Structure 1
Amino acid sequence: MSKRFPLRLRDITPRGLYPRSVLMVVLPVILLLTAVTYIFYDSHWRHTSRKLSQTISSEIEFMIALRHQYPDEFDSIREDARRAMQMDVTVLEDTQLPTEQKQLFFTALDDILSRELDVSLEQPYWFDISGYGATVEIQVQDGPDVLRIMAERDRTFSTTGHIFIVWVIGATGILIALALGFLRNQVRSILKLTEAAKSYGRGRDVENFRPAGATEIRDAARAVMDMRTRLTTFAEERTTMLAGISHDLRTPLTRLKLQLAMMEDSEDIRAAKADLTEMSAMLEEYLAFASGKEGEQPETLRFDTLVRDVASGLEGEITLRRMDSVEIIARPGSVRRAVSNLLSNALGFGTHVEVDVIDGPHMAELVVDDDGPGIPTEQREEAFKPFHRLDASRSQNVPGTGLGLSIARDTARQHGGDIRLEDSPLGGLRVRLRLPR
C-alpha cells in the first residue's frame, strides 16, 4: 500500500526563481484588482444603473397613464416628454411586440432593466439595448397598440463605469510591467552568477563577468570570484610543489636504474629492475592523481575521436559499437587519462571489451562493458576510493595501484559529470562516464 503525502504549496508552485518572483508580484495584484473591481461593480456601478433604470421605468409607466387619462392630448404630451425627459415616444397602432429578444454579451444590464420594468409595468414589454448606440429602445404593449420609447442610454444605465475599470487595468498592467522588468534584471544577475559558478567549478573561465544586480548579489559574486582565485592559487602552488617532488623522486630512481644496468645480469637484478619500473609507474600515477587539473585549459574536442584514439593505442580486444559524433568542452589530457584508465581496467579484468559513445540530450556518455568478474553492488562505491583494491576475484594478477577509477571519477566531476558502475550484459562490469556536452 503506497504512502500518501499531504499536498504541499511547493508542489504546485513554480520551482524557478523568476517564475516564483513573477507569481509573488502578479498574483496579489490580480487578486487586489479582482476585489476592487467586484466591490466597485456591486456597490457603485450596479447600484447606480439600478436607480437609473428605475427612473426610466417610472417615466414609461407615467407616460402610459397619461395616454389613458388624456388620449386627445397625448401628442402634445409626447412633445413635452421629448423636451423635458429626452424621451421619444411613438405610438405604433395595431402592432404586436417583437418576438425576438436581443441581449448584450454582458447580460447584467438586461437583468437590471428587466427587473425594474417588471416592477413598474403591468403590460408586456420588449427592449433592445444593443443596436442603437447611444439610445435604448423599449416597446410596451398597450391594448392593440405598441408604445415605442427611445431613451438615451446615459439615462438608462451608468455608462462610465468601464472607464474606471480600464484605468485600473491599465495602471495595473504598467505597474506589473515595471515590476517584471526590475525582477528580470535581478534574476538575470543571479543566473549569470550561477553560470559563472558552474563554469568555475568545471575549470572554465568566464569572459567579461562582472558583479551586477543588488548589493547582496554583487557581494555573492565577489565571494565566488575570491574563492575561485584562492582555489586557483592553491592548485598552482600544489602543482608546483608536486613537480618538485616528482623531480626529486625521479632522480634517485634514475640513479638506481643506471646502477642496476651496469651490474651483471641475474635473477635478482631482473627482479630489482622490475620493481624500479613498477615504482616509476606508481609514482607517475600518484602524481597524476594528486595534481588533478595539471594547469590544462579546457578546449572544444570531439569526444568520439578521443575515445577512438585511446582505444587504438591499447592492446586487447576492444569493439567500438555505437560512436555518436559529439563535442565537449574539457581538458584533453585529463579526459584522455580517464578514458584510458577505464579501458585499461576493462581489458585487465576481461578478455573482451565493448565501447559506446552516446550523444545524450545534455550529456555525452561513454559506456564500457567487459566480460570480467564484475564488482558486487555493495562494493561499487568502495571501488572509487584511492588506493583501494578489491578482493581476489577482481584483482588477482592485475597490476596497478587502485587509482584508475578514482582518477576517472575525479576528472568527470571536475568537468561537471560523473561515473556510475552497473551490471554489463556481457556478464562483467559496465562503466558509464557522463560529461556535459
Structure 2
Amino acid sequence: MNRLFRRFALLVLLAMTLASAVIYLTFRLLFGDPLEQIARRQAAGQIFLLEQYIDQAPADEWLPRLNKVREVSEVTLELQPLATALAALPARQHAALLRGEVVMDVTDKAYYRRVDLRGMRYIGSDDDVIHAQHLPIDIGEALNMEAIRFGLIALFLLVPIGWWSRRHWRGLQSLSQMADAFGRGNLTARASVERSASIAPLAGHINDMAERIAALLEARRHLLHSVSHELRTPIARLEFGMELLRERHAGDDEALLRRLEAMETDVGELKALVNELLSLNQLDQTQAMQQQPFAVTPLLRACVPQPGTQHFSASIADDLGELHGDARLLARAINNLLGNAAKYAQSRITLTATRGEQLHIVIEDDGPGIPPQARTQVFEPFYRLSRDADHAAGGYGLGLAIAARAIQLHGGAITIDESPLGGARFTASI
C-alpha cells in the first residue's frame, strides 16, 4: 500500500466521519435527536397501545385498562409524580413532557407521558406521569446498520481511489528513479509512464529537460576534452622550441636564460591547467570511477604532508572502516583540500577524521578564511575570491571543484564554516 493511498484513505475516512457528525448535529437541531426518532419507531407498538387502547377508555375504566395491559405486557407501566419524572429527564425535554407529549428515554429504554393535563382520568391525574420501562428498543442494531452503511460507502470510495493512486504512485516512482539516476550521472535516464497517466505531461517535460541538460553537459565535456588535448600539442612545441633555443643560442646570455626560465614557468602552468581540466572532465564520466572497497585510515595517513613551514597536526581514528569507491580519487580530493589549506594558512593546519553514522574528515587552517556568501561558490570551476591573498596564492580555481566532485561521487558532500583556528574549516561527510 503506497503512501499516497494511505493519505487519501485517511482523508476520506476523516471527511466521512466529520460529515456524519455534522449531519447528526444538523438533524438533531432541525428535527430532534435521530436516536430518539429511532427509539420512538421501535417503541411505536407500545405507544400505540397507550394512545389507542388505554387513552380511549372512559374515565372510570382508564385505570382498569392500564392494569389489564400491565398483566399481559412485558413492558413495565408505572405511575409516578410529575416532579419525579421532571427530575429524571434532561431540561431540554421538560417542555415536551409538560405539553403531554411522549418523551423517550433512550438510555433506559423507556418513555414518559403525563396521564392527562386536566385531571379527567381520576382525581390528581394531571400530576401523574406514566413511566413505561423495558421497551423493545435496540439502538445498537441501528448503529450497526449505520456502521455497515458507513463502511460500504467508504469501500466504494476507496477502491477507485486505490486504483487511481496506485497508477499515480507508480508514475511518481518512475520520475523519482529517473531523477536519482540522472543525479548520479546517468544522463541517458528517462521517465517511463503511460500516456494515459495523470503525470504524463509532467514526465514529458522532465524528459525534455533531461535531454537538453544531457546535450549541454555532453557539449561541455567534449569542449573541455578537445581544448585540453589540442592545447597539449602547441605546449609540446613550445617546450621543444625553448629547449633548442637554450642549447643553440643561450650560451652565457643571462638575460635570455632568465627569459627562458620565465617562459618555462608559464608553460608549466599551462600544462598544470590542462591536466586539471582533463581531471575535472574525467570526473564527469562516473563510469570511469573504480568501484572497490578500501580502508580509510591508511589512505588518510598517506595524505599527511611532509614537514614544511606550517605546523601540521593530524588526529586520525584507527576504526574508520572501509569505503566503497575509488581510493585514488578520494586521496586526490583530500590532497586538494590540504593543498588549499597550505596556500592560505599562516602557521597551522589540522586534519581530523572520525566515524559515527558517517565518516567525517575535517581540515582546518588559521588563514584568512572564506566569507559566508562565497562558501558555495568556491566549489565552482575557475571561481576565485577577489582578494590579494588569493591572487598571490596562484592556482586556477579547479582544486576545490575537483575535491567536491570526488567527494560527491562517493556519496558525500563538503561544507565550509569558520574554524576555531581563525581560518576556514572544510568538513567532508561521506
Tell me the TM-score normalised to structure 2 length: 0.65
**C-alpha contact (below 8 Å) 2:351/2:362 kept by paired residues:** yes
**C-alpha contact (below 8 Å) 1:371/1:427 kept by paired residues:** yes
**C-alpha contact (below 8 Å) 2:111/2:132 kept by paired residues:** yes
How far off is 1:286 after superposition? 3.3
Aligned counterparts of 1:332 and 1:201: Cα–Cα separation in 2: 22
Q: Output the amino acid matched with 2:185.
A: G
Q: 1:283 to 1:54 in 2, by over 3 A?
A: same
How far off is 1:412 after superposition? 6.1
**C-alpha contact (below 8 Å) 2:38/2:139 kept by paired residues:** yes
How far off is 1:392 after superposition? 3.1
Query: Which piece of structure 1 moves more, 322-331 or 402-411?
Result: 322-331
**C-alpha contact (below 8 Å) 2:293/2:322 kept by paired residues:** yes
Aligned counterparts of 1:177 and 1:72: Cα–Cα separation in 2: 59
Query: Which piece of structure 1 moves more, 164-173 or 234-243?
Result: 234-243
How far off is 1:275 after superposition? 3.2
Query: Which piece of structure 1 moves more, 26-35 or 298-307?
Result: 298-307
Aligned equivalent of 2:37, options 48, 64, 70: 48
**C-alpha contact (below 8 Å) 2:300/2:316 kept by paired residues:** no
In the alignment, structure 1 residue 312 sits paired with structure 2 residue 303: yes
Equivalent positions of 1:176-187 (< 5 A) are: 176-178=157-159, 180-181=161-162, 182-187=164-169
Aligned counterparts of 1:420 and 1:303: Cα–Cα separation in 2: 24
Q: Tell me, what secondary structure is at the counterpart of 2:340?
A: helix
Q: 1:298 to 1:170 in 2, by over 3 A?
A: farther
Aligned counterparts of 1:377 and 1:279: Cα–Cα separation in 2: 31
How far off is 1:170 after superposition? 0.9
Aligned counterparts of 2:331 and 2:195: Cα–Cα separation in 1: 40
In the alignment, what sits opposite 1:33? 20
**C-alpha contact (below 8 Å) 2:289/2:326 kept by paired residues:** yes
Q: 1:128 to 1:23 in 2, by over 3 A?
A: closer
In the alignment, what sits opposite 2:269? 278
Aligned counterparts of 2:320 and 2:302: Cα–Cα separation in 1: 16
Aligned counterparts of 2:295 and 2:364: Cα–Cα separation in 1: 16
Q: Tell me, what secondary structure is at the counterpart of 1:369?
A: strand
Question: How many residues matched?
Answer: 397
How far off is 1:31 after superposition? 3.3
In the alignment, what sits opposite 1:388? 384
Tell me the TM-score normalised to structure 1 length: 0.64
In the alignment, what sits opposite 1:355? 351
In the alignment, structure 1 residue 246 sits paired with structure 2 residue 228: yes
Q: Tell me, what secondary structure is at the counterpart of 2:147?
A: helix
**C-alpha contact (below 8 Å) 1:129/1:137 kept by paired residues:** no
How far off is 1:33 after superposition? 2.9
Give a deviation string over 1:29-70, Cα, whole Å, max 9, x none. 33333333445567373453475569847967986998x956
Aligned equivalent of 2:149, options 149, 165, 168: 168
How far off is 1:166 after superposition? 1.8
Q: Tell me, what secondary structure is at the counterpart of 1:372?
A: coil
**C-alpha contact (below 8 Å) 1:296/1:331 kept by paired residues:** no
Q: 1:310 to 1:341 in 2, by over 3 A?
A: farther
Aligned counterparts of 2:411 and 2:365: Cα–Cα separation in 1: 26
How far off is 1:186 after superposition? 1.5
Give a deviation string over 1:349-395, Cα, whole Å, max 9, x none. 2244323446676x765432112333345665664562525433455
Aligned counterparts of 1:111 and 1:49: Cα–Cα separation in 2: 21
In the alignment, structure 1 residue 199 sits paired with structure 2 residue 181: yes
Equivalent positions of 1:36-435 (< 5 A) are: 36-39=23-26, 43=31, 45-46=34-35, 48-49=37-38, 51=40, 56=46, 77-78=68-69, 82=72, 86-87=73-74, 151-154=134-137, 161-178=142-159, 180-181=161-162, 182-204=164-186, 210-211=192-193, 215-261=197-243, 263-264=246-247, 267-268=257-258, 269-289=260-280, 293-296=284-287, 305=296, 308-309=299-300, 312=303, 314-315=305-306, 317=312, 319-321=314-316, 325=320, 336-350=331-345, 351-357=347-353, 365-377=360-372, 380=375, 383-384=378-379, 386=382, 388=384, 390-396=386-392, 398-409=393-404, 419-434=414-429
Aligned counterparts of 2:341 and 2:283: Cα–Cα separation in 1: 22
Considering only aligned residues, what root-mean-square deviation do their CA atoms show, in Å? 5.6
Gaps spanning 5+ residues in structure 1: where?
1-15, 92-102, 122-126, 139-146
Query: Which piece of structure 1 moves more, 177-186 or 317-326?
Result: 317-326
**C-alpha contact (below 8 Å) 1:282/1:401 kept by paired residues:** yes
Q: Output the amino acid matched with 1:348.
A: K
In the alignment, what sits opposite 1:141? none
Give a deviation string over 1:64-119, Cα, whole Å, max 9, x none. 998x956997798248x62xxx545699xxxxxxxxxxx9xxx9xx9999998787
Aligned counterparts of 2:174 and 2:9: Cα–Cα separation in 1: 19
How far off is 1:203 after superposition? 1.3
Aligned counterparts of 1:55 and 1:116: Cα–Cα separation in 2: 20
Give a deviation string over 1:287-307, Cα, whole Å, max 9, x none. 434565035356766697289
In the alignment, what sits opposite 1:100? none
Identity %: 21
**C-alpha contact (below 8 Å) 2:413/2:428 kept by paired residues:** yes
Taking CA–CA contacts closer than 8 Å with sequence separation of 6 or more, which of the two structures ends up with the larger relative contact order? 1
**C-alpha contact (below 8 Å) 1:357/1:364 kept by paired residues:** yes
Q: 1:58 to 1:415 in 2, by over 3 A?
A: same
